[in-house]
């Protein structure tokens, strides 16, 4: 088998290398794009939402937009400042979940975890829906098919993540830096034009916005506050994803915390400058942007409604179209990188999900299997779950970013709040014991920052809850509640089991004797091997056991058995109805009952095959038998494998599987050395 | 746990009883209905098909119908006579498959098996489609929804068979005898009316049948022969199901073969008298019956086509409607029992399928798991497969019996032919050694009967192939070919494996030493039990192995380990990436490599839980680890179970499962004693 040999050598070559899997820590310039794509991508939709909300009262309300922008920027810097404290205090990368659990207890931790779970689903739904809108603004043929485009994109992302895509620094760095260049470059060019006085109007500049009913004319105080509150809470969508860095501290180069904090500050600065630039330019270019479901608000100069087929493009798209009027490659470049960064943001959810899952598994809030990296099945289930939920949302909400945003922000601010509260507790606890005045001052400052942060984010959370509850936030809260209860139930189960299993002093008794039985179906190599292995363990009693369903076959086997002269007696159990399992279970039970302090060791010869359909043809009875014997007290079940030739295929497949990259590896600092791969391939 | 105790006692009570599961052999009066429903139900559609075929040349051709009926009766008696020889020669109940395999070899046997498999699917499709038509003739609201009705019926039958329905003699006896009473009673009453001269005309008597194009006017010899051949081959649908008794000889009371042969004769007599009575009455009542897809052939007295919404009812339905003109309960009784007998006929396929599957599994042509009665999963898969295929056919052929019949008869006659040929070989072989002249005469007579049978059935097969190939028989032949190849491939695989596994003289070497490792995740009862069990086997080396993913937890465990003072060393494997499986597999491999003649015994403590969702929360890693270790040469894997309280639920469930009746139990003579059930319940 030449091919077999070669594949074996390749295999073994790779197997040796596997020990060299190493940690690659990220410098700031790579860490920024790895962790920032989610947060930065928000500028693709946050300004649009501000304009939509203000537009309810007509285009005149747009005058408030930059003030709203400043308010969002204030929240952004506050949150950034708060998380800079977190990364110093919790360099282990547990993020909000760890902060809440350690300082506020299990309930708060699980609340944060359920908020994060819901958030991951929404990140996928919002980012991909938004990306579909950008795609449609560049390729008019896609207009009206956004749901389909978004669904296909989620399916592709899912496939990619199931397959295992090698994430590398450059995988994130190139598109993220291109996005920064595109947006900031576009804005800079726009400002130059503005100073020149040659900034063109946007495509929608000639339109008017008819205020919604009840919002016409000068607004009273309460209405105005409510309007601004709604616009502000929508604008806070820009904050989603900021917390990502606090989960990724271990992946940073040393000094980890310091580098993470610096990166966080950079991220805040870039995000805010992008958002403010876009808002200012949009105002200067007199963009008119309304809820895509209420296009009838838009009126032509004559006061008529716009044409039925009027296409409203996203704000960035309109700006790019205006600024790059005579240079369409510029327009396409901006749209393309915006779309890519949104897809990348969605991908971070696919990465974050298994990481969170493994942390929750470690603490007993999720199935333990999620905790070990190797369990691809668990990973796959999580990824498919995430994708299915996101697709459901996309279809349900018609791939409309505006509608999905209503669900998005609650979860984010729930974890912001609990995290800040946790940090305040953290500093207070440390202050209680800390004596060094310098250190105390640092802690007091940090606590002040977190207190201010909590104040601000709690106000935002209240605003978000008031303005968005009926618009969709209730769905988020319901989903969070579901995950919360599920995780508590899992934890409770594990605790109960753990209590039942706790060792006490009565467990020291040693079984007095071992009665071994070897299951015989035929007298072939696997059976002989099982007999040999069983004999090697030198049990107190050893016998072969054969279930007879056919007299002729039984006679033949008995003859062969005698010929072999193994020195081991063969017990024949008769089963007129061709039942295999029951007679064996009953026999094992009988042996055990005769000697309650002994152990029955059942040896099952198994063929090991490599192809899935071979599995269907073999070992099904052995599998069921093992399942049944496990329920029989005092019995232990030993599988004695006999590897058939085809089993090599499976070993090979398994090796490939182990080497496969799993989502989230990069942000846990787990990267295979690139050169190493080259050599072994 | 009061409830637990009670349920345990009930459980143990039942467990003891399980040894008393006994054989209940069927007396002739019960065996007839059990095995006859399929064959008798054919009279619900076979006469209709004869009339349809003859009607192609106009109603005048109906004059041939009773001659066709006689020809079919001749074939019926010939086949019955042939199978009477079979039940004497092969009382083991292997039926056609056994006869063909033993006498003609493996290829013929597999051919018969694939014909039977296809037949089972068609039995379900034809019987249920026909039942739907009877239902529609009694309940006009169902007209036009026959496909839906048939599909729902198949789904219900499937659910019933998956759930496991207790078949009993009366389950079959009541409807089958009612059917005989209904049909023969109706015919008898019809004949009385006929002799009285008061037999009314059928509802369709006033219509004319316009011959199809090319069939008008006096037919030439060839056309006439072709017409009669088609009608005859359709009429042969009456023979489907006759062979069932030959598969069920072991379920008969002694003398088994004699009783089976008598029942077979009875079955033939009843079927023929029903069929002939129906044909004669239909002629006397001037029934007009055409292909339901060519209703335009029917003309009113004025020569116009019948109304678009004309409803053509099945022949039995029209006769019943006429005969019981003034007594509608009589009509509904006939239709209802006909419908029931058709459903019962479909149910026999659900019963026959697993029986055939287990025989094929025994011989290595089907997955071995099908061979043991206990494997519900295998049963379920077979039943679902059968149902899905039948539903596909029903939908594809619009639940039209006429169309499905074209596919049906080929398979039946393929097995008739091979079975007859096998019987001839059988007698010839026995004649070669038999000396006793009386016995020789008996054998020669039997051989003559089978030879005549082969002659006749081969002519029928040729006629069927010629007249039905393009009309649908090609689909059957294709499907048979598929099953044939699949079974051969499975056999080949098993043969190859068996060759690879065959014991030779080199397998006598005994491993020199056993190195036992016990996997430790925590120091709880399951681990302590695994350590105790492993120690009881007195291996040459014994150690605990712990995979460390967290330094703090590791330190804690090491401390507990020391406190326990088990006397067993603990090996700690470090795994920075939270991988559990790979370090263990590599460690086991390393031990084995250091001592190639030794065995590594890996002890895995397992919790045994009772609920499916608990399974998801536990043992997933153990399961994967076992899967991986099986591929590692020189390793045996021992599961040491620790039964948690909830595991009792699973034991209970399993017990219930074992007591559940499986499709086909009755006809394999496996029936639980009724009184016994009463007591233990």
Given a cut of 50, whether residue B519 has pLDDT beyond it is yes
pLDDT digits (tens, 9 = 90+) for B136-184: 888 888 888 889 999 999 999 888 877 765 556 677 788 899 999 999 9
Q: What is the predicted pLDDT for the residue at A3?
A: 41
Could you tell me which residue, B97 or B309, shows the higher pLDDT? B97
Residue of B nearest to A530 (CA): B636
Q: What is the DSSP string of A331-396?
A: HHHHHHHHHHHHHHHHHHHHHHHHHHHHHHHHTTSS-GGGGSTT-HHHHHHHHHHHHHHHHHHHHH
Q: What is the predicted pLDDT for the residue at A47?
A: 92
Contact check, Cβ <8 Å, A372/B581? yes
Q: What is the predicted pLDDT for the residue at B9?
A: 38
Report yes or no: B346 and B124 within 8 Å, Cβ to Cβ.
yes
Given a cut of 60, whether residue A6 has pLDDT beyond it is no
**What are the residue ranges of CATH 3.40.50.620 in chain B?**
510-644
Burial of B260 (0-12, 13-18, 19+ CB in 10 A): buried
**In angstroms, what separates the C-alpha of A443 from chain B's closest C-alpha?**
27
pLDDT digits (tens, 9 = 90+) for B530-541: 888 888 888 899
B225-238: average pLDDT:
89
Cα distances from B533 to residues A514, B536, B639, in angstroms, run 8, 5, 10
pLDDT digits (tens, 9 = 90+) for B322-376: 888 878 888 999 999 999 999 989 988 887 887 788 888 888 898 877 766 555 6
**What are the residue ranges of CATH 1.20.1740.10 in chain B?**
88-493
Could you tell me which residue, A381 or B110, shows the higher pLDDT? B110
Could you tell me which residue, B26 or A507, shows the higher pLDDT? B26
Given a cut of 90, whether residue A173 has pLDDT beyond it is no
Nearest CB to A533; choose among B564, B578, B636 = B636
Nearest CB to B641; choose among A371, A630, A651 = A630
Report yes or no: B25 and B254 within 8 Å, Cβ to Cβ.
yes
pLDDT digits (tens, 9 = 90+) for B92-122: 877 888 889 989 999 999 999 999 999 999 9
- A510-644 has which CATH code? 3.40.50.620
**In angstroms, what separates the C-alpha of B572 from chain A's closest C-alpha?**
17
Report yes or no: A358 and B579 within 8 Å, Cβ to Cβ.
no
Report yes or no: B204 and B312 within 8 Å, Cβ to Cβ.
yes
Q: Supply the ipTM of this predicted assembly.
A: 0.72
Using CA atoms, how far apart are residues B292 and B397, in angstroms rounded to an integer? 12
Entry pTM: 0.72
Three-state SS for A79? helix
B58-64: average pLDDT:
85
What confidence category does residue A11 fall into, taking pLDDT thresholds of 50, 70 and 90? very low
Inter-chain contacts counted by CB atoms under 8 A, chains A and B: 229
Using CA atoms, how far apart are residues B440 and B332, in angstroms rounded to an integer? 53
Residues of B in contact with A631 (CB under 8 A): 608, 641, 643, 647, 650-651, 654
A430-438: average pLDDT:
89
Given a cut of 60, whether residue A485 has pLDDT beyond it is yes
Residues of B in contact with A536 (CB under 8 A): 510-514, 599
The CATH architecture assigned to B88-493 reads Up-down Bundle (1.20)
Q: What is the predicted pLDDT for the residue at A675?
A: 35
CA atoms within 13 A on the CB side of B344: 30
Using CA atoms, how far apart are residues A40 and A54, in angstroms rounded to an integer? 23
Given a cut of 70, whether residue B679 has pLDDT beyond it is no
Least confident among A373-382, A450-459, B256-265, B546-555: A373-382
Contact check, Cβ <8 Å, A638/B601? yes
**In angstroms, what separates the C-alpha of B427 from chain A's closest C-alpha?**
24
Three-state SS for A543? strand
Least confident among A228-242, A364-378, B587-601: A364-378
Neighbouring residues of A508: CB distance < 8 A, sequence distance ≥ 6 = B528, B532
**In angstroms, what separates the C-alpha of A659 from chain B's closest C-alpha?**
11
Helix pair angle (B256-284, B65-89), 10° resolution? 170
Three-state SS for B633? coil
Cα distances from A448 to residues A70, A81, A440, A670, in angstroms, run 22, 11, 12, 36
Mutation for testing the B interface, residue in A360, A509, A524 having most B CBs under 10 Å: A524
Contact check, Cβ <8 Å, B525/A502? yes
Nearest CB to A577; choose among B529, B616, B670 = B670
Q: What is the predicted pLDDT for the residue at B681?
A: 31
pLDDT digits (tens, 9 = 90+) for B77-86: 999 999 998 8
Residues of B in contact with A502 (CB under 8 A): 524-525
Nearest CB to A617; choose among B490, B579, B607 = B490
B278-307: average pLDDT:
84
Three-state SS for A222? helix
Cα distances from B345 to residues A35, B125, B135, B336, B339, in angstroms, run 66, 10, 16, 14, 10
Using CA atoms, how far apart are residues A275 and A267, in angstroms rounded to an integer? 12
Given a cut of 70, whether residue A437 has pLDDT beyond it is yes
Q: What is the predicted pLDDT for the residue at B295?
A: 81
pLDDT digits (tens, 9 = 90+) for B616-635: 777 677 778 888 888 888 88
What confidence category does residue B290 fall into, taking pLDDT thresholds of 50, 70 and 90? confident
The alpha carbons of chain B give a radius of gyration, in whole angstroms, of 32
Q: What is the predicted pLDDT for the residue at A209?
A: 84
Using CA atoms, how far apart are residues B142 and B145, in angstroms rounded to an integer? 5
**In angstroms, what separates the C-alpha of A500 from chain B's closest C-alpha?**
8
Contact check, Cβ <8 Å, A537/B514? yes
* Average pLDDT value for chain A: 83
Given a cut of 60, whether residue B253 has pLDDT beyond it is yes
CA A6-A7-A9 angle, 5° bins: 65
Q: What is the predicted pLDDT for the residue at B661?
A: 61
Residues of A in contact with B378 (CB under 8 A): 620
**In angstroms, what separates the C-alpha of B100 from chain A's closest C-alpha?**
21
Closest listed residue to residue B462, CA positions, set B516, B413, B498: B413
Could you tell me which residue, A106 or B220, shows the higher pLDDT? A106
DSSP code at position B522: S
Mutation for testing the B interface, residue in A602, A638, A659 having most B CBs under 10 Å: A638
Residues of B in contact with A604 (CB under 8 A): none
Using CA atoms, how far apart are residues A631 and B617, in angstroms rounded to an integer? 18
Q: What is the predicted pLDDT for the residue at A169?
A: 67
Q: What is the predicted pLDDT for the residue at B187?
A: 93
Mutation for testing the A interface, residue in B19, B359, B365, B369 having most A CBs under 10 Å: B369
Given a cut of 90, whether residue B127 has pLDDT beyond it is yes
The alpha carbons of chain A give a radius of gyration, in whole angstroms, of 32
Q: What is the predicted pLDDT for the residue at B669?
A: 57
Contact check, Cβ <8 Å, B378/A511? no
Q: What is the predicted pLDDT for the residue at B340?
A: 92
What confidence category does residue B427 fall into, taking pLDDT thresholds of 50, 70 and 90? very high
Q: What is the predicted pLDDT for the residue at B278?
A: 94
Could you tell me which residue, A70 or B201, shows the higher pLDDT? A70
Contact check, Cβ <8 Å, A368/B651? no
């Amino acid at each position: 088998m030449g091919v077999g040999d070669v594949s074996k050598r390749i295999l073994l070559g790779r197997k040796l290398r596997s020990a060299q899997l190493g940690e690659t820590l990220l410098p700031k310039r790579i860490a920024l794009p790895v962790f920032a794509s989610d947060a930065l991508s928000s500028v693709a939709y946050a300004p649009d939402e501000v304009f939509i909300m203000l537009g309810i009262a007509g285009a005149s309300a747009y005058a408030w937009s930059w003030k709203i922008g400043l308010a969002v920027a204030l929240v952004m810097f506050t949150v950034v400042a708060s998380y800079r404290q977190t990364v110093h205090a919790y360099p282990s990368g547990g993020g909000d979940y760890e902060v809440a659990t350690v300082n506020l207890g299990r309930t708060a931790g699980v609340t944060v975890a359920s908020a994060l779970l819901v958030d991951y689903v929404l990140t996928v739904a919002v980012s991909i829906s938004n990306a579909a809108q950008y795609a449609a603004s560049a390729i008019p043929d896609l207009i009206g098919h956004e749901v389909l485009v978004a669904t296909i994109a989620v399916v592709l992302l899912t496939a990619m993540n199931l397959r295992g895509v090698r994430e590398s620094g450059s995988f994130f760095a190139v598109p993220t830096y291109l996005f920064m260049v595109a947006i900031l470059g576009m804005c800079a060019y726009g400002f130059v034009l503005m100073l020149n006085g040659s900034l063109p109007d946007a495509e929608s500049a000639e339109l008017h916005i008819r205020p919604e009913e009840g919002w016409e004319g000068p607004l009273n105080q309460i209405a105005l506050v409510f309007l601004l509150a709604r616009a502000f809470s929508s604008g806070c969508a820009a904050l989603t994803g900021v917390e990502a860095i606090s989960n990724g501290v271990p992946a940073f180069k040393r000094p980890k915390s310091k580098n993470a904090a610096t990166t966080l500050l950079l991220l805040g600065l870039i995000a805010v400058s992008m958002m403010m630039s876009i808002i200012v330019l949009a105002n200067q270019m007199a963009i008119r942007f309304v809820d895509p479901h209420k296009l009838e608000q838009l009126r032509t100069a004559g006061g008529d409604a716009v044409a039925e087929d009027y296409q409203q493009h996203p704000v960035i798209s309109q700006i790019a179209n205006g600024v790059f009027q005579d240079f369409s490659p510029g327009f396409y470049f901006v749209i393309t990188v915006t779309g890519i960064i949104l897809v990348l943001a969605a991908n971070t959810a696919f990465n974050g999900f298994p990481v969170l899952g493994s942390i929750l598994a470690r603490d007993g809030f999720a199935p333990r299997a999620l905790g070990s990296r190797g369990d691809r099945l668990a990973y796959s289930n999580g990824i498919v779950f995430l994708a299915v939920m996101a697709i459901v949302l996309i279809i349900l909400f018609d791939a409309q970013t505006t509608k999905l945003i209503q669900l998005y922000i609650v979860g984010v601010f729930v974890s912001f709040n609990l995290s800040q509260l946790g940090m305040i507790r953290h500093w207070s606890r440390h202050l209680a014991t800390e004596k060094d005045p310098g250190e105390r001052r640092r802690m007091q400052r940090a606590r002040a920052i977190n207190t201010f942060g909590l104040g601000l984010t709690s106000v935002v959370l209240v605003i978000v809850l008031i303005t968005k509850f009926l618009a969709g936030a209730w769905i988020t809260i319901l989903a969070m509640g579901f995950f919360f209860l599920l995780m508590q139930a899992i934890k409770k189960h594990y605790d109960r089991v753990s209590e039942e299993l706790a060792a006490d002093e009565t467990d020291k008794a040693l079984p007095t004797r071992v009665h071994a039985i070897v299951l015989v179906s035929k007298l072939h190599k696997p059976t002989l091997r099982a007999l040999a292995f069983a004999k090697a363990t030198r049990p107190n009693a050893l016998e072969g056991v054969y279930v007879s369903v056919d007299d002729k076959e039984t006679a033949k086997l008995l003859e062969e058995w005698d010929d072999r002269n193994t020195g081991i007696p063969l017990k024949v159990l008769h089963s007129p109805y061709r039942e295999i399992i029951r007679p064996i279970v009953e026999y094992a039970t009988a042996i055990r009952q005769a000697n309650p302090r002994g152990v029955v060791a059942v040896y099952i010869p198994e063929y090991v095959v490599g192809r899935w359909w071979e599995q269907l043809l073999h070992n099904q009875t052995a599998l069921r038998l093992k399942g049944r014997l496990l329920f029989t007290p005092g019995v232990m079940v030993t599988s004695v494998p006999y590897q058939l030739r085809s089993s090599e295929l499976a070993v090979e497949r398994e090796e490939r599987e182990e080497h496969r990259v799993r989502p989230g590896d990069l942000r846990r600092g787990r990267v295979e050395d690139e050169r190493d791969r080259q050599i072994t391939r």
